[in-house]
Structure 1
């Protein structure tokens, strides 16, 4: 019952936030404001529904930890994607021609990406993973949430099965393991935002086959699709897959050292929420 109520509330807010950000996407400043407001509203809705249904403090999204987690996560996301796109470029899969005709569009993408990232993290890590982990333990919950996260990307405009698989392994694994290691939503939100913002707003590449959103650079993907990711974008490249597995492994090692791995059928996994 708790899962169902929380899922309906978060998905409902995500749908409304998505409609609002899409409606504002042609205006840079309006897109920025709408996306940021949608993020705050989604977080407020999550806090309300978790407190109501679980009768506990929402420690996984504690406001006091927001700044640190978001900053560290964003910097990590930017750095990891920069390494990925750099490796793709060295191998002939990405080429920069100069600045784009409308570099200011990157400002609007801050709001657009913030709205999308916050609602996705609340759905897949805050609700789905957290509740499944209570019944299955960490490993099955990690696998299930990653598969669902990847499968949803099959609905995107330029989706491919390989791209969705890469999102499941690299994206789903990396983001969920960040939550497991910290037991906080702020780091995965920042990591997800930094990664997506770098893709679209800085390097002007496709984001999960969602259609090209031009950012700061005038650039193109070239050559072998195994290297560049093709129409799905860099997330379908071998570079992303390798980077995602490495980062996921590091987070899971950290989670184990901190005692954050919930074993199968553990009776009181709720003690590891924070």
Structure 2
């Protein structure tokens, strides 16, 4: 059973790796030279994260008693779970953007420093594959291995909190990082952990994470966790006005609007988990 699942994961991660490589080689043949250099750099950076997935799988399968028990996921419902996660991530970030924009704390970029609109679609699609890899790598590492391992030693909700704090700490080297940004990143990690508990599946968390970053960087043109992503965006928005509301230079993840949206999602997930007692049994101490 575990060997069969392990082989499936090898195929899945190999496919993601190949897609990212293909994307990296396609970018130089796209027409817009203004974003060419940035696109290659970003895609290469995201591509390197795919190696984390392979490392996680090897460690999990060899050291933590099998990949199935470690990741606690259902392969068969992967597409359904991932799609649901994508939709949730899209809705979440649309709410964040709407809150920032309609309070007057975001404006459309007047200088065309990157491709926008239909011209940017090829770059956007290629970057989407990179976000798939990046989102999955972080979720497999933090929720798939670290949170799962902690849950075998301590209370499940404490394992969610500690793994989320570690997740936030992974961003300490990012530009313009601050206390509020770290708080929101921790809260986002809690959303991911609770969603894994609710669904007994890591696919959905991967989908949410991918959609969240993709919407920030390549649909609305914001900084992604303090990182500028000038590789093409559908709409190029800049945070303005109050940094407390918009997140300032770090991007929306450091703003109070983001905090409010995430806290609402956390409240909904906690309610759903406690009304479905079976959710609390999926991570058992061993």
Normalized against structure 2, the TM-score is what?
0.75
How far has the Cα of 1:218 moved from its partner? 2.4
Q: Give the CA RMSD over aligned residues.
A: 3.3
What SS is found at the alignment partner of 2:238?
strand
Shift in alpha-carbon separation, 1:145–1:76, aligned structure 2, 3 A? same
Contact 1:95 1:222 in 2 (8 A): yes
Residue 82 of structure 1, aligned match among 74, 87, 94: 94
Which residue in the other structure is 2:248 paired with? 230
Residues 178, 187 of structure 1: 8 Å contact kept: yes
Partner of 2:4: none
Are 1:51 and 2:51 counterparts? no
* Aligned partner of residue 153 in structure 1, secondary structure: coil
Aligned to 1:206: 223
Following superposition, the deviation at residue 96 of structure 1 comes to: 2.6
- Are the aligned partners of 1:35 and 1:111 in contact in 2 as well (CA < 8 Å)? no
Cα–Cα, structure 1 residues 152 and 54, in superposed 2: closer, same or farther, change >3 Å? Answer: closer
* Match for residue 169 of structure 2 among 151, 159, 173: 151
**Per the alignment, in what secondary structure is the counterpart of residue 108 of structure 2?**
strand
Equivalence for 2:274 = 256
* Preserved CA contact (<8 Å) 2:89 2:211: yes
- 1:34 deviates by 7.4
1:219 is displaced (CA, Å) by 2.1
Deviation, structure 1 residue 38: 7.0
User: How much does 1:238 deviate?
Assistant: 0.7
The alpha carbon displacement at 1:155 in A equals 1.1
Where in structure 2 are there 5+ consecutive unaligned residues?
Answer: 1-12, 31-38
Structure 1 residue 165, shift from structure 2 partner: 1.6
Could you tell me which of 123, 127, 130 is aligned with 1:112?
130
SS at match of 1:216: coil
Q: In 2 relative to 1, CA 34–71 (structure 1 residues): closer, same or farther, beyond 3 Å? A: farther
Q: Which residue of 1 aligns with 2:236?
A: 218
1:224: how far off? 0.5
Deviation at 1:181?
A: 0.9
Matched, 1:92 2:104: yes
Contact 1:180 1:255 (8 Å CA) reproduced: yes
SS in 2 for 1:63: coil
**3-state secondary structure, aligned to 2:115:** coil
CA distance in 2, matches of 1:73, 1:46: 21
2:189 corresponds to which of 172, 177, 180: 172
**How high is the TM-score relative to the length of structure 1?**
0.78
Structure 1 residue 174 displacement after superposition: 1.0
Instruction: Specify the alignment match of 1:70 in structure 2.
Output: 82
Q: Distance in 2 between matches of 1:53 and 1:152?
A: 23
Of residues 111, 115, 119, the one that matches 1:101 is 115
Query: Contact between 1:36 and 1:114, CA under 8 Å: does it hold in 2?
Result: no
Cα pair distance change 1:40/1:66, threshold 3 Å:
farther
1:255 and 1:261 in contact (8 A); partners too: yes
Displacement, 1:143? 1.4
- Name the residue aligned to 2:35: none
Q: Is the 8 A contact 1:42 1:118 kept in 2?
A: no
